[in-house]
Every structure is written in structure tokens, then in C-alpha cells.
């Protein structure tokens, strides 16, 4: 009983139930259950090939799970009509890993695109919204540049500005700080926190950058081989005893498999040196 009352006080925006998916014989997602509550920042951790990106694709309705359901704002996107899916997506802003900006358009036009295509706003209003979003991400002077002219960090910021354009309830960020230097990455973390604290946007971040994850997260979830092995408040998560989580958090490498004839090779290399 206490469990259900606790669930009622926390309002789930996204709720994933028993989602499974495999490519051929390989199980990419294995009955994943995950809730994202309104107004929180949930960080989804996981190594390469853990199924993070696949889970994200399912959340956005770009792929359909074999079993299970994904409910966003009360709509099961695995079973709804295309128009319902469209309505759900309208409330979600996504910043893809590489930015996914359109290279043939300036940054301004990239941010303006969803506004022009999906709203009836007048041109001056669109300009104003674009300008405000670019200021929010710190790209006010870069509006007329084209994506190939931007640095990695600027591209991620521009993608964030575009994701924010339609004033979303939920922001989904795929590897927002991957490949950025620590200073730019820290700036992006502050920006994510700012968006969450001042606009109350629910944010789901997919990453493998530990430091940034623990800085911004309210809760942390970890995927390993398609299975969700832990979801917890970040303080508790840091103390989790699961061997794979320990290995991930303490940055221990996997045991290297021994190569056949290794002794021979090392002996040969040693011999050739002398």
C-alpha cells in the first residue's frame, strides 16, 4: 500500500514496462522497466552496446518493441495511432548525439524549423523565440553560422536550442557531453540544470560520462547487456554493490582474454630487443 501511495505522489511522465527487443539472436533490451517522474533529471548510464541508444529509439517511437509498453503522458506509444504519436512527440524535445542539425540551414533556421513547420506563429514571433532560445544556450552571436562552422560544443548547444524551440515538457539528451572538453562539458551541465530548475522540464540524459552524470542527476539508472540493473537516487546509486556497477564507477577494465601463444610472442619480442 505504501508503495502505491508513494507512486501517486510522484507523477510519472514516462513509464516503460517490460520492453524487450532483439536483433536476430542478440537480445538488445531485456524486459526493461523504468519510470521517469515529472520535473526530475534522470541519467541513464551504460557502456557501449548496453542498449542505451536502442531504448532511446523506442522512447521516441522510432522503433517498436517486441513486447512491453511505453507510456508517455498517459499515451501508450507502442499501440497508439500515428496522430497520437505525433501529439506525444510535440511535447518532447530531443538533442541527438551528433546534434543532427541540418547542414544546409543556418543555426537560426535550424531552431526555427519546428516553429515554422508546426505552429502558426508569425515570423517576428518566431524570430523572437529563436533568439531567446539561442541566448539560453549561449549562442546568441552564432545564429547566422552554419552547422559545419560550429565547434562540437556549439553544435550540441544548437541542438539543445532546437530541442527547446517548441517549449517541451520532456527533454531527451543523447550523450550531451561526449567528446567535449571538461570546461565546455561543465558549461553544458550547468545549462541542463538551469533548464530543469527554472522551467521544471523533465530531463532524461543518456550518457557514460560519470562525473557529469552524478553532477546533474536526481536519479541514476544503469543498463547492462540490455537489462536495467539499477535505478536509484544518485547518493544510493554510488553505494550500489552490483559488481558491474562497481566496475563501471571505479573504472576497472574487463579482464583481457589471454592470447594463444602469448608466451611465445613475448619471448620473441624480448629476444628481438637484445
Partner 1 sequence: MVVTEEIDALRVMGLDPVEFTLAPKYLAALITVPCLTILSTLSGIFAGYLFLAFSMDMSLRIYFQTVAETIVLRDVAFMLVKSLVFATIIVHVGCLEGLRVHGGPEAVGHSTTAAVVKSTFLIIFADLVATAIFYLMGWSSLG
Nearest to 46 by CA among 227, 176, 177: 227
- How many residues sit in the footprint of partner 1 (CB under 8 A)? 18
Nearest to 159 by CA among 217, 110, 89, 224: 110
Q: Are the beta carbons of 98 and 127 closer than 8 angstroms?
A: no
What CA–CA distance (Å, rounded) separates 202 from 261?
54
Interface with partner 1 (CB under 8 A), residue from 28, 34, 101, 205: 101
Q: Are the beta carbons of 43 and 223 closer than 8 angstroms?
A: no
Interface with partner 1 (CB under 8 A), residue from 39, 40, 69, 100: 100
DSSP 27-94: EEEEEEEEEEETT-EEEEE--TTSSHHHHHHHHTTSS--SEEEEEETTEETTTS-HHHHHHHHHTEEE
- The x, y and z cell numbers of residue 100, run together, are 543532427
63 vs 132, which CB is nearer to partner 1? 63
Stretch that binds partner 1, among 96-104, 130-138, 189-197, 264-272 (CB under 8 A): 96-104
- The x, y and z cell numbers of residue 208, run together, are 557514460
118 vs 267, which CB is nearer to partner 1? 118
- The x, y and z cell numbers of residue 202, run together, are 523533465
Q: Counting contacts by CB under 8 A, is residue 224 touching partner 1? A: no
Q: Counting contacts by CB under 8 A, is residue 219 touching partner 1? A: no
Hunting for cell 514496462 — which residue is that?
A: 17
Q: Counting contacts by CB under 8 A, is residue 97 touching partner 1? A: yes
- The x, y and z cell numbers of residue 182, run together, are 571538461
118 vs 259, which CB is nearer to partner 1? 118
In what helix (H) or strand (E) does residue 172 lie, and over which residues does it extend? Answer: strand 170-174
Stretch that binds partner 1, among 111-119, 136-144, 196-204, 266-274 (CB under 8 A): 111-119
DSSP bridge partners of 256 = none
Interface with partner 1 (CB under 8 A), residue from 17, 57, 234, 242: 57
100 vs 184, which CB is nearer to partner 1? 100
* DSSP 8-state code for residue 10: S
Binding mask 65-94 for partner 1 (x = CB under 8 A): ---------------------x--xx-x-x
Q: Least distance to partner 1 from the beta carbon of 13, Å?
A: 16
Q: Least distance to partner 1 from the beta carbon of 61, Å?
A: 8
Q: Counting contacts by CB under 8 A, is residue 105 touching partner 1? A: no
Nearest to 49 by CA among 183, 260, 244, 225: 225
33 vs 167, which CB is nearer to partner 1? 167
Q: Counting contacts by CB under 8 A, is residue 138 touching partner 1? A: no
Stretch that binds partner 1, among 114-122, 136-144, 190-198, 202-210 (CB under 8 A): 114-122
Provide the binding-site residues for partner 1, judged by CB under 8 A: 57, 60, 62, 86, 89-90, 92, 94, 96-98, 100-102, 113-114, 117-118
Amino acid at each position: 500500500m505504501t508503495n502505491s501511495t508513494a507512486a501517486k505522489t510522484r507523477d510519472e511522465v514516462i513509464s516503460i514496462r517490460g520492453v524487450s527487443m532483439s536483433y536476430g539472436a542478440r537480445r538488445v533490451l531485456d524486459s526493461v522497466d523504468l519510470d521517469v517522474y515529472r520535473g526530475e533529471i534522470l541519467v541513464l548510464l551504460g557502456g557501449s552496446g548496453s542498449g542505451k541508444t536502442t531504448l532511446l529509439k523506442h522512447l521516441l517511437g522510432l522503433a517498436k518493441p517486441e513486447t512491453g509498453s511505453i507510456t508517455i503522458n498517459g499515451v501508450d506509444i507502442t499501440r497508439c495511432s500515428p496522430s497520437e504519436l505525433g501529439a506525444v512527440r510535440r511535447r518532447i524535445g530531443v538533442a541527438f548525439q551528433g546534434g543532427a542539425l541540418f547542414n544546409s540551414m543556418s543555426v537560426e533556421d535550424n531552431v526555427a524549423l519546428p516553429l515554422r513547420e508546426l505552429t502558426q506563429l508569425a515570423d517576428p514571433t518566431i524570430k523572437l523565440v529563436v533568439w531567446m532560445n539561442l541566448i539560453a544556450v549561449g549562442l546568441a552571436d552564432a545564429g547566422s553560422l552554419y552547422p559545419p562552422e560550429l565547434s562540437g560544443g556549439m553544435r550540441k548547444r544548437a541542438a539543445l536550442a532546437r530541442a527547446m524551440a517548441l517549449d517541451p515538457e520532456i527533454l531527451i539528451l543523447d550523450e550531451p557531453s561526449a567528446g567535449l572538453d571538461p570546461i565546455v562539458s561543465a558549461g553544458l551541465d550547468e545549462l541542463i540544470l538551469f533548464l530543469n530548475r527554472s522551467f521544471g522540464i523533465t530531463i532524461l540524459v543518456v550518457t557514460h560520462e560519470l562525473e557529469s552524470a552524478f553532477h546533474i542527476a536526481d536519479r541514476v539508472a544503469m543498463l547492462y547487456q540490455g537489462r536495467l540493473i539499477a535505478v536509484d537516487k544518485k547518493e544510493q546509486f554510488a553505494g550500489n554493490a552490483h559488481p558491474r556497477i562497481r566496475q563501471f564507477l571505479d573504472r576497472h577494465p574487463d579482464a583481457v582474454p589471454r592470447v594463444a601463444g602469448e608466451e611465445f610472442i613475448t619471448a620473441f619480442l624480448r629476444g628481438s630487443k637484445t
